[in-house]
Structure 1
Amino acid sequence: MMRIDSHQHFWRYTPQDYRWISDEMTVLKQNFLPETLTSTLQRHNIQGTVLVQACSCTSETRWLLDIAGKTDFVCAVTGWVDLSSSALQQELDALSHPLLRGFRHQVQDEPSPAQWLADPAINAGIRQLQQQEYVYEILVTHRHLAEAVQFATRHDGHFLVLDHLGKPDLSLGAAYWKKQIAPLAALQHVSCKLSGLLTEPRPAGMSARDLLPYFDAALEVFGPGRLIFGSDWPVCLLAGGDENPWDLCEQATASLSSDEQAAIYGGNACTVYRLQPLPITGND
């Protein structure tokens, strides 16, 4: 079984395209391309990745698909498309690619995430995606998990994946987050990425080790069969050199059986994204 990083990004940085990268995120204001990631994957024994959109435009999706086709370790792409478009099917046809397995929208950045999740046109678009067996990744914060449950309940035709554990409010503790996330975890078509936690705002004095109870809670409510490891590289670099998602997840899963670890690190991603567990030989 391959070890898969289910959540990584590439970009050629321009301020107008990546407006979510703030002035406090200086380390991200540069190009991140396959050659930048290769040594990190090798160091952490990761053979394949899912490349995820970071810009809400189809031109980025086409660029990501082009890179994926030339990069041996990229096994799938989660792109972006205008879900509310009356020409959605034509856009999907134009984007069609063997490695395109899903879509995502940065709902957390919408003026009203709740309104976006309830929008009839968006929901019609999601139904269309699911009919064509595309994964949809839900990107919201803890503020809109209740609306995400309603959204996910409406869309059970194919896999949904919650990014970054739903971005919990770390000041409220893991037990509170567990209650918040339980209704979403009760939906069997929803999986959850073990990603992004290191870069969520922390109360003063909270260390990376203090984040482990969130992993324990995720294991309790989702089970090892619906958790998927993701690094959120290069965004994870915001946490600093001494903290990284690979080591944190290793600590969190150390007590699990080898089969459970294999599921979280590769098997679940292979199922959700229909990945081919083939040996990786290098970059083109």
Structure 2
Amino acid sequence: MRIDSHQHFWIFNADRDAWITDDMEAIRQNFLPIDLAAVLKTSGIDGTIAVQASQSHEETQFLVDLSTMYAMIKGVVGWVDLQSEDIEKHLESFSRYNIIKGFRHVIEGEEDPDFLIRPAFLRGIKALTARQYTYDLLIRPRHYNSTLACVEQNPEQRFVLDHMAKPAIRTKEFDEWATFIEKLAVFPNVYCKISGLVTEADWNNWVVDDFKPYIQHVITCFGKQRVMFGTDWPVCLVAATYEEVMKIVETGLEDFSEEELDAFWGGNAVRFYGIK
């Protein structure tokens, strides 16, 4: 099974989706599974992980409802208020949906560099661990230290790093990011999505070689059994087509065996998210 481990669906709302700015005109519209089906088929992708794009329990329910209509959705990474005193009640409510594999919070939007180690947030992570849910890490450089601290305090929690922590490819910054990746990859319970890179490059003038050192570093650090393919569709459309995103990733897989390629394109995501 070939899996796109990271993509989104939404019915565009200018107020709720304020992060989609005017310079992202290509994605200021609705995107639903029917809009993705054809490109998945031509790209040989069997299914996707639908990841939350806004922070509400209604968003999680929206993705669950879509999964009942579209078999391409193999798993949902929703949103839940991890800092809520009612976290157990919320998770109990969501537990009736087997399609929900884990949760995510848009940490990159939080100015507090220690958001990930707030006591209330850590309590929420413990609740996820107890129910065997995954957690997607979406961060910026100011969160590097707290990310490492959070992961260290939760050795039984399955984490996956979204978009390789969004390295600053546009300005070719590397060293600080690379050091963080090395430190994070030490923890065996952390995986990494090779996804979302094209939007961190120059949207209009990127070349494939821009991405190679970043992809190679992640593979070197995490190994070939803890990395997975993702497109970040439709966000990627501001800079590249689905097919172009796949070609960018393929350039970093030249020394993969057939078995390792199967793991990268789907097997690792199936194992991490517990896809049946």
Give the TM interval when normalised to the shorter protein: over 0.9
- Alpha-carbon separation, structure 1, partners of 2:133 and 2:242: 36
1:32 is aligned to 2:31: yes
Give 1:1-284 correspondences, 5 Å limit: 2-96=1-95, 97-112=97-112, 114-170=113-169, 171-174=171-174, 176-202=176-202, 206-241=206-241, 244-276=244-276
Shift of 1:209: 2.4
Give the letter for the 1:9 counterpart. H
- CA distance in structure 1 between the aligned counterparts of 2:51 and 2:186, rounded to whole angstroms: 25
8 Å CA contact 1:106, 1:139 repeated in 2: yes
State the distance in 1 between where 2:101 and 2:246 align.
24
Aligned to 1:244, what secondary structure does the other structure show? helix
Distance across 2 between alignment mates of 1:203 and 1:5: 21
Question: What is the distance in 1 between the residues matched to 2:134 and 2:194?
Answer: 17
Instruction: Report if the CA contact (8 A) 1:80-1:105 is conserved.
Output: yes
Instruction: Give how far 1:201 is off.
Output: 4.2
Post-superposition shift, 1:255? Answer: 2.6
Change in CA separation of 1:238 and 1:116 when aligned onto 2, cut-off 3 Å = same
Superposed CA RMSD in Å reads 1.8
CA distance in 2, matches of 1:116, 1:145: 11
Q: Secondary structure at the match of 1:55?
A: coil
CA deviation vs aligned residue, 1:64-104 (integer Å, no higher than 9, x gap) = 00101221111000000000111111111222201000000
- Say which SS state the counterpart of residue 191 (structure 1) adopts: strand
Q: Tell me the CA shift for residue 244 of structure 1.
A: 2.5
Greater mean alpha carbon deviation, residues 2-11 or residues 89-98: 89-98
Contact preservation (8 Å) 1:131, 1:157:
no
Cα separation, 2, equivalents of 1:9 and 1:73: 13
Distance 1:66 1:79 in 2: 12
Unaligned ranges ≥5, structure 2:
none
After TM superposition, the structure 1 stretch with the greater mean CA deviation from structure 2, 164-173 or 242-251, is 242-251
- TM (norm. structure 2) is 0.94
Instruction: Please list the CA deviations of residues 34-59 of structure 1 after superposition, one character each: whole Å capped at 9, or x if unmatched.
Output: 11000111111000110000000000
Give the stretch that moved more between structures: 11-20 or 127-136.
11-20
Number of residue pairs the alignment of both structures matches = 274
Q: Distance in 1 between matches of 2:204 and 2:48?
A: 33
**Distance change (3 Å), C-alpha of 1:14 and 1:142:** same
Distance 1:35 1:115, change over 3 A: same
- CA contact 2:107–2:115 (8 Å) conserved in 1: yes
